[in-house]
Structure 1
Amino acid sequence: MKLHRLSCALVLLVLIDGAVASAQIAADLKGRVLDPSGAANANAPIELVESSTNLHQSTTTSSSGDYLFIHLNPGSYRVEVKAPGFKSLNREGVTVIVGQTVSLDLTLSPGGDQQTVTVNSDAPLLQAETSNIQTNISGAVVAAIPLNTRNFIQLATLAPGVELPPGTLLPRINGGRPRTNEYIYDGISALQPEPGQVAFFPILDDVAEFTIEANNVPAEFGRFNGGVVNVATRSGSNDIHGSLFEYLRNEDLNARNYFAPAGRKPEYRRNLYGATLGAPILHDRLFFFGDYQGVKQLIGRTLTSTIPTNNERKGIFTGVSKIYNPATTTIVNGKNVRQEFPGDVINIPLDSAAEALLARFPIPTNGNAANNYSRTANDADHQNQFDVRIDGAYGARDHAFGRYTYYNEVEQPVTPLPDGSGLISGAALGTGGVPGLSNVRGQQAVADETHIFSPRLVNNLAGGYTRRSNNIIGPDLSDTASAALGIPGIPTNAAFNNALPLFTFTGFQQLGPSAKHLCELPDLGLADSRHGCLHPRRPCHQSRHRLSLVSAQYSIAAQSDGLLRLHHHRNQPTRRNKQRQLHCQLSAWRS
């Protein structure tokens, strides 16, 4: 009765709010069981076994010989079919791919059920159930190709229509803007709609496989303009497996730059290290996988600025510029007239505010009038990231997994002046081009459970929480700007009362941070999505028409076999940077 009310509620939601849909984020396996003449074999028991974990799922064929397994972890499976009057069939090496529906028809041979036909290798399975064009990058490819910074997103360029311009992090898919793609990790979005940032990128060793949806992407995915990056993370298995790794770069291993000045080579040190571990907790039932990756990076960089010379700091501008005494201002014929300091040397005390600002400039490192200060320091980038995932099954009817990911990156670029002041132009060598000390934290929690009520009724419930924060700070003062610098009128009710304001001087390096430096960006949006799938279905394999409609916040996708996928997505601004997503998919099959 409760299930019937849920079905009615979902249908009512479609009627009231418009078309609704959900994106396929795992893998599906479907097909027909036939005899040698091509006739359907009804009520044939089918067992699906995941090769790495030995987890079992079972169903029976419909009156037309159809079977369906939904929401599968990507990987290799074995299909076992037993039917009276036919030999048992074991089909091994069936590979399902994230985001795809694989069609596999099985033909039984006459004989006793004590006899078994085993198929160990066969032609690759054709994905012909949907018209969208995907490129799948397997975990073996991810692990085999060397990647600087070990970011899997660089492999997106293996898909046609995808470009990753030099110096950028987010790809362009089919000419779309980099910040308008969707990123889905284990079925949960990791994208912040504004400003189009990804909360984090998974550790390379945590990626089981991923697909790039670049052409004819189904409307039910939503929230994208270019394409969809759909990632499946690794899970544990019945085997204990792990790894340790470290990648090292050091200036002692580098040749000297031909144009570098004499002396010690600039520091260039990058250590990227980590470990993975996967193991069974309960054999054939409960599995664990975890990983960690850390980055410690220091890259030497020299910045050159123009600051006041030693004579200018003393008020001596002889031969540089004419300096007039503001205290001698008179009005002559409607114009302000001032007397020039003798010899262009300021012979009166400087204003206290000017002295406070002048004291923040360092002493020049050479006697030139321009480019007279050089500072060499290290761009610093420290990262820590880890994942923990638990997979398990309770009997053959319940399968679930949960994952938690934590990511933290602290970046400190070299500033032109020691107090943190100065304009940082261009991308820093060692960091991500941030304008100052930046602390980014990303987190995601995912929980997913699939329950098989009967061979005709399956429910999947998934929930996720994604959060990203970014705090950037700059040079500060011992008190408010008005009190510390002696400049009245500066507001004291701002978010950063003790921050050094920005002062620009013609011909000199600025005091204060780069523009838009001081900020605190907790999450910019709260996303709450719910989706369900209700498909009382009567299979029809001769027509493959598909209808997709999209309205403001809802979309619907319907197939000729009776499949309806519904999705409601809502973004609500909030002061905290987080996304919450709840997915509920109910699958019913009526023969």
Structure 2
Amino acid sequence: MKMFGRLLLLFLLVAGIAQAQLTTATIVGNIQDTSGAVIPGAQVTATNQETQFTRQVTSGSDGAYRLDFLPVGTYSLKVEAAGFQSKQQQGIVLTLNAEVHFDASLNIGEATQTVDVSSNELPLVETSNATLGRTVTNQEVDNLPIVNRNVYDLLTLTPGVQSSSNVNTLGYPQQVVYMNGGTDNFVGSVSYYLDGGLNMTFIRNTGNVLPNPDALREFNVQTNNYNALYGRMSSGLVNVVTKSGTNKIHGSIFEFHRETNFAAAPAFSAPGPKAPLHRNQFGATLGGPIWKDKTFFFGSYAGLRQITSSTYNSALVPTAAQRAGDFSANLPTSGTPSSCPSNTSSVVFVVCDPVTRTPRAGNKLASSQLDPTVQRLLARIPLPNATGIDTASGRTTYRWQGIIPSTLNTDEFLIKVDHQIGTHRLQGMYFNTAGNQQQSPGGNIDWSRQNFVYRQQNGNLSDTWTPSANVVNQIWLNYTRMIGGRINTPQLSLADFGSSFGIQGASMLPQLTVSGYFTAAQAISGPVTGTNFYSLRDVVSITRGKHTFSFGAETSLNKDLQYTYLNNYGVFAFQRATARTNAEISDFIAGLPATMNQDSPVQAADNSWFSGIFAQDDYRLFRNLTINLGLRWDVQTSPTDPKDRQSTFIAGQKSTVYPTAPTGLLVVGDKGVDRGIVATRWHHVSPRVGFAWDPFGNGRTAVRGAFGLFFGSVSGNEWNGVSNFQPFAVRNRYSFIKSMTDIYGDARSFPNGNPYPYVYDPKNPRPFISPAQVQGIDLDYQWPYVYQTNFSVQQQVTNSIAVSVSYVGSFSHDVPFAPDINYPIYATATSPVNGVTTSTTSNYDSRRPIQGGLGIINLIQSKQRANYHGLQITGEKRLSHQFSVKAFYTWSKTLSSASVNNSGAVIGTAQDFNRMQDEYGSSDTDLRHQANIAAIWKPAFFTSSPRYVREVVNGWTISGIAQLNAGTPFSVTTGVDNNFDGYTSDRANLSGNAAVGITSGRSRADKINAYFNPAAFCSYTGSTASCPAGVGPGGLDGTTRRNNYFGPGNRVINAAIFRDFGVYEAVKFQLRAEVNNVFNLVNLSNPTTSLNSGNFGKITGAYGVPRQIQIGGRILF
């Protein structure tokens, strides 16, 4: 708190920034006479043509002027000077974060004479700063196809945005964006803003929901070397601004509809009727004046009602006879043998007694061998309603198939008020959205469902104060809350079916996987997951001569909460290889699982402060050269848990707070272990420098470059993942389960009986369940940081066409990764480990270097790195001759030292944690080629034809987005644990017998059947004569590199066509059709890459969605 006090004091003494404005824009320029001499003291007045808001400055001694913090909109600019004719520019459109350059050359004459100029004379190149990015304008939001009505879908229109996707893993929507090789989003890569306030959830550092497109004006994306105003995230930012009220009443009423008949069938779907689809989005907006020229309002409502369906047809389910223990239909044609044979089929097998291992008479279980709990569970498992043929045996199989609907309902409200009082412009915005989404079953039968329920609230207050012509101050208050939950139904547990299973937390059905038959899937339930975020920021801009000085400070408090039951319901596997009755399905009927996973619920909370101070000088060294100098200092406290559920690992030190913990595992309060684990890092100083040069001084050519340092953040999910393991929770896998009715009856797994409920209590330490998997945070952990650089040349070719070429570099350091620091050592007779002379898949824990009851030890460290190099070429034609287009092509390469995924409980994977040098290769997000074209066309044919012809043919708007991407990388794996380390991330070897065979020009059918040559790869297990040895101990690590191969590319073309029909005066009706994937292109997914899969090398799925047509109508006024 002392640190916060100091920063708050500093915050009150200094203020912010000018150029990197969150919700506004800037006009800059020079005033001169026709001979080129500068005109000091000229009066420059900018007037918003929609609200009559005005801002006035005078040109300096060098004739330069600057108007900062102008609300986005359309402006007129008037320049007046004694002895000269005034000059007025109409129709200057200020977009978000834009810096519009307008030079005025005044003629000698009477001041009453005014010269108007066209807005088409405004330059298309950036001559004032070196930030890379793009603003998606209101025209594009209104005109381009957004079939899902989610403006985030337009993010990929920006060069450098490699991918943008919406996921839902926490019970609420999360936007995940990768920019210019930025590492995993969950470590703090991208910032998301809505009307100047952060609009994100810090559980996983993802973007929150946005208002509907009718409520949004535009958004700005910055991808490289953004201004010193921005901190906390290291790759880029997305800044969205809503519409505002004006002096005229304006708004819209809209509805968009999609249904089954408007959609094509998905690729790889089974023959039969299409799964039903019904989707309606509707709403309205309204804005206008409360007090003309002073106070304005804007409001919006939107709702979504959607029903989608999933088709299930792959599950084999037990027949009525099998449910009674009668497997006579599965008996081999040779009859019952005298001894129990090995089983190689799920359809033809001999049932054996689980105790005597002798064949059962008639292939039937005795009635006493039928598990009572399973008999009750069978009432929830559907009977077969379809048949098939087992290709290996020719026997009839009995399947269940069905279509299961799921629903999604959302509602949102937005209210915004702007008020101009004297030299203050006040703005307030409140946004509230809530949703309820019912998920389809996760397995292949109708077993359990999840409802995702969430609510998001955003509140912003800001004041822009202009105490003098060249001084502007802006202050923001921001509150963002996102809270959601995953609620499982039905709320029944094994205990409700007569089992001794000890449920801890909410009741949920178990997960049952019967190999070769069905998966009755369950999912982790989290009733409460969310973020409360509070921030305060103040900014000021002072223009003095050639300098625009900026100073500022911000501080924020983030409070994360997660309460999840994990796998408290029990995860049961029935497998042929370990079947006690010789078959997985008969094991299920007898209630004899091979393994069970059971977790105790986890509650975790993270509270952290983030504060920063920053300074910027945009120094106009010469009339045609601007230098951008920025410096930022950030301080983020390590997230703390109110109940101190955090741990670390220091070899040899014994915990005094939790004495039953294995040696080395320490918790908060132990010697050297403070709250938050990691000491506050005070050295996060980020210098940033850039230049923008107009070499010919005509505003049509720009040479720009920049270099900067950007620190990232950590997500709550990353930090509190340690609470998922002992001593805070139990996540164990048990191999000896007596039966589904008597879960804890086998002392080999449960020497002390039922360990649940398990509650963390340092005052009453519980014995550890060995071998204990634990996770900790390295005391030397450092926050990730990125060096960004760019160099670009822009050229305006005509008044409406411009092109640019840019080099973009990004170099990430201290990327989080959690290796297993207790990684098993390969043991041989000549190199024994802890007395063990052989390495097997059952003695991992005996071969670990740290014993004492410890198994896996994942320690979150910051030792990984990544780098990105890209060539980005863009072209733009602004609207002229009824046509506009923006396009780009990117050629890039992203390399990283490991596969890092921070969305799970454990961060990152590797083939061999002792050979991390083998992991360096293409990043998971390496996208070598990317092209995008967005075009808007307003055709006007037959201008001399009769009126009825013109009315029918003309007046339409046609728009489209075409995206073409190269394939994403993949690794070829064995699918088994070749190197006996307890992980199945082992990569394959090249056999040397055949070429890999990934070549161009092949047909789609060929690629689907074999994307690569399966014979090119092999798995070495130590004695495989047909496969050469690999690397590492025993030659058991694969020789193929991580992400060494690339999958099929993809291309999507979306389109829209619409027309406005006059209804009454300013009221129009818009008829609109939008099409997703117009040509129903099939974008093949990556192939199956696991050697042990029957589909190895084959492609079994597709990315994206098939063609979907959406019809909509809007009333505009």
Fold match (TM-score > 0.5): yes
1:392 maps to amino acid = H
CA displacement 1:421-465 (0-9 Å, x = unmatched): 36xxxxxxxxxxxx8321233222222211111223321111222
**Structure 2 residue 362 is the aligned partner of structure 1 residue 346:** no
Q: Residue 102 of structure 1 contacts residue 128 of structure 1 at CA under 8 Å; is this kept in 2?
A: no
- Residue 558 of structure 1 and its aligned partner are, at CA, apart by 7.5
Q: Residue 184 of structure 1 contacts residue 231 of structure 1 at CA under 8 Å; is this kept in 2?
A: yes
1:269 maps to amino acid = H
- Residue 122 of structure 1 and its aligned partner are, at CA, apart by 4.7
Q: Residue 360 of structure 1 contacts residue 419 of structure 1 at CA under 8 Å; is this kept in 2?
A: no
2:110 maps to amino acid = G
CA displacement 1:80-122 (0-9 Å, x = unmatched): 2333333333222222221122232333333333333333445
**Structure 2 residue 483 is the aligned partner of structure 1 residue 469:** yes
- Write the distance in 2 (CA, Å) between the matches of 1:558 and 1:534: 18
- Residue 373 of structure 1 and its aligned partner are, at CA, apart by 0.9
Q: Is the alpha carbon distance of 1:348 and 1:175 closer, same or farther for their aligned partners in structure 2, counting shifts above 3 Å?
A: same
Q: Is the alpha carbon distance of 1:173 and 1:13 closer, same or farther for their aligned partners in structure 2, counting shifts above 3 Å?
A: same
2:497 corresponding residue in structure 1: 485
1:68 maps to amino acid = R
2:407 maps to amino acid = A
Q: Residue 312 of structure 2 contacts residue 444 of structure 2 at CA under 8 Å; is this kept in 1?
A: no
- Residue 50 of structure 1 and its aligned partner are, at CA, apart by 0.4
- Write the distance in 2 (CA, Å) between the matches of 1:476 and 1:484: 11
CA displacement 1:47-91 (0-9 Å, x = unmatched): 221011111223334444443322122221112233333333322
- Write the distance in 2 (CA, Å) between the matches of 1:291 and 1:394: 25
- Which of 359, 364, 387 aligns to 2:384? It is 364
Could you state the TM-score of these two structures normalised by the residue count of structure 2?
0.43
Q: Residue 319 of structure 2 contacts residue 398 of structure 2 at CA under 8 Å; is this kept in 1?
A: no
Query: Structure 1 stretch 443-452 or stretch 167-176: which is displaced more?
Result: 167-176
Q: What is the identity percentage for the equivalent residue pairs of Structure 1 and Structure 2?
A: 26
Q: Residue 22 of structure 1 contacts residue 221 of structure 1 at CA under 8 Å; is this kept in 2?
A: no
Please state whether the residue corresponding to 1:153 is helix, strand or coil. Answer: helix
Q: Is the alpha carbon distance of 1:253 and 1:184 closer, same or farther for their aligned partners in structure 2, counting shifts above 3 Å?
A: closer
2:411 corresponding residue in structure 1: 384
Q: Residue 373 of structure 2 contacts residue 494 of structure 2 at CA under 8 Å; is this kept in 1?
A: no
Query: Which residues in structure 2 correspond to 1:172-183 (within 5 Å)?
Result: 172-176=178-182, 179=185, 180-183=189-192
- Write the distance in 1 (CA, Å) between the matches of 2:233 and 2:196: 15
Query: Which residues in structure 2 correspond to 1:132-531 (within 5 Å)?
Result: 132-164=131-163, 170-176=176-182, 179=185, 180-218=189-227, 220-252=229-261, 266-304=275-313, 305-320=315-330, 321-325=349-353, 329=355, 337-338=356-357, 340-349=359-368, 350-366=370-386, 370=397, 372-395=399-422, 397-415=423-441, 421=447, 436-478=450-492, 481=493, 483-492=495-504, 494=505, 496=506, 498-514=507-523, 517-524=524-531, 526=533, 528=535, 530=537
Q: Residue 531 of structure 1 contacts residue 568 of structure 1 at CA under 8 Å; is this kept in 2?
A: no
2:797 corresponding residue in structure 1: none
CA displacement 1:523-573 (0-9 Å, x = unmatched): 257464635346473324415223344555454657999xxxxx9999896
- Write the distance in 2 (CA, Å) between the matches of 1:41 and 1:22: 24
Please state whether the residue corresponding to 2:430 is helix, strand or coil. Answer: strand
- Residue 306 of structure 1 and its aligned partner are, at CA, apart by 2.0
1:298 maps to amino acid = I
CA displacement 1:126-154 (0-9 Å, x = unmatched): 43110122322211122111222122233
Please state whether the residue corresponding to 1:468 is helix, strand or coil. Answer: strand
- Write the distance in 2 (CA, Å) between the matches of 1:133 and 1:416: 42
Gaps of 5+ in 1: 1-5, 330-336, 423-434, 562-566, 577-591
- Write the distance in 2 (CA, Å) between the matches of 1:399 and 1:249: 42
2:211 maps to amino acid = P
- Write the distance in 1 (CA, Å) between the matches of 2:712 and 2:69: 20
- Write the distance in 2 (CA, Å) between the matches of 1:66 and 1:20: 19
- Residue 418 of structure 1 and its aligned partner are, at CA, apart by 11
Query: Structure 1 stretch 450-459 or stretch 34-43: which is displaced more?
Result: 34-43
- Residue 376 of structure 1 and its aligned partner are, at CA, apart by 1.3
Q: Is the alpha carbon distance of 1:531 and 1:571 closer, same or farther for their aligned partners in structure 2, counting shifts above 3 Å?
A: farther
- Write the distance in 1 (CA, Å) between the matches of 2:415 and 2:247: 17
- Write the distance in 2 (CA, Å) between the matches of 1:416 and 1:41: 71
- Residue 301 of structure 1 and its aligned partner are, at CA, apart by 2.5
Q: Is the alpha carbon distance of 1:8 and 1:42 closer, same or farther for their aligned partners in structure 2, counting shifts above 3 Å?
A: farther
**Structure 2 residue 32 is the aligned partner of structure 1 residue 34:** yes
- Residue 205 of structure 1 and its aligned partner are, at CA, apart by 1.6
- Write the distance in 2 (CA, Å) between the matches of 1:165 and 1:571: 20
Please state whether the residue corresponding to 1:380 is helix, strand or coil. Answer: strand
- Residue 269 of structure 1 and its aligned partner are, at CA, apart by 1.6
- Write the distance in 1 (CA, Å) between the matches of 2:77 and 2:544: 23
Q: Residue 101 of structure 1 contacts residue 129 of structure 1 at CA under 8 Å; is this kept in 2?
A: yes
Q: Residue 294 of structure 2 contacts residue 421 of structure 2 at CA under 8 Å; is this kept in 1?
A: yes
User: How many residues align structurally?
Assistant: 533
- Write the distance in 1 (CA, Å) between the matches of 2:405 and 2:495: 32
Asked which structure has the greater RCO (Cα within 8 Å, sep 6+), the reply is 1
Gaps of 5+ in 2: 1-6, 168-174, 331-348, 389-395, 547-619, 636-684, 693-709, 721-1117
Q: Residue 309 of structure 1 contacts residue 367 of structure 1 at CA under 8 Å; is this kept in 2?
A: no
1:174 maps to amino acid = N
1:579 corresponding residue in structure 2: none
- Which of 103, 115, 118 aligns to 1:117? It is 115
Q: Residue 188 of structure 1 contacts residue 446 of structure 1 at CA under 8 Å; is this kept in 2?
A: yes
Q: Residue 303 of structure 1 contacts residue 416 of structure 1 at CA under 8 Å; is this kept in 2?
A: no
Q: Is the alpha carbon distance of 1:461 and 1:127 closer, same or farther for their aligned partners in structure 2, counting shifts above 3 Å?
A: same
- Residue 414 of structure 1 and its aligned partner are, at CA, apart by 2.6
**Structure 2 residue 30 is the aligned partner of structure 1 residue 47:** no
CA displacement 1:352-391 (0-9 Å, x = unmatched): 3222322321222236664511121223222222322222
- Write the distance in 2 (CA, Å) between the matches of 1:531 and 1:149: 36
- Residue 325 of structure 1 and its aligned partner are, at CA, apart by 4.7
CA displacement 1:329-370 (0-9 Å, x = unmatched): 4xxxxxxx3555432323334333222322321222236664
CA displacement 1:504-531 (0-9 Å, x = unmatched): 33333233513xx312353257464635
Q: Is the alpha carbon distance of 1:189 and 1:315 closer, same or farther for their aligned partners in structure 2, counting shifts above 3 Å?
A: same
- Write the distance in 2 (CA, Å) between the matches of 1:569 and 1:535: 29
- Residue 402 of structure 1 and its aligned partner are, at CA, apart by 1.6
- Write the distance in 2 (CA, Å) between the matches of 1:376 and 1:13: 62
2:468 maps to amino acid = S
- Residue 251 of structure 1 and its aligned partner are, at CA, apart by 2.9
Q: Is the alpha carbon distance of 1:153 and 1:568 closer, same or farther for their aligned partners in structure 2, counting shifts above 3 Å?
A: closer
CA displacement 1:275-333 (0-9 Å, x = unmatched): 2222222211111222222222222332122222111111212242444455xx4xxxx
Let me know the Cα RMSD of the aligned residues: 3.9
1:564 corresponding residue in structure 2: none
- Write the distance in 1 (CA, Å) between the matches of 2:65 and 2:690: 17
- Write the distance in 2 (CA, Å) between the matches of 1:7 and 1:534: 20
1:546 corresponding residue in structure 2: 628
2:537 maps to amino acid = R
- Write the distance in 2 (CA, Å) between the matches of 1:345 and 1:407: 57
Please state whether the residue corresponding to 1:84 is helix, strand or coil. Answer: coil
Q: Residue 526 of structure 1 contacts residue 573 of structure 1 at CA under 8 Å; is this kept in 2?
A: no
Please state whether the residue corresponding to 1:465 is helix, strand or coil. Answer: strand
1:131 maps to amino acid = A
- Write the distance in 1 (CA, Å) between the matches of 2:690 and 2:9: 20
Q: Is the alpha carbon distance of 1:22 and 1:351 closer, same or farther for their aligned partners in structure 2, counting shifts above 3 Å?
A: farther
- Which of 72, 87, 90 aligns to 2:88? It is 90
Please state whether the residue corresponding to 2:321 is helix, strand or coil. Answer: helix
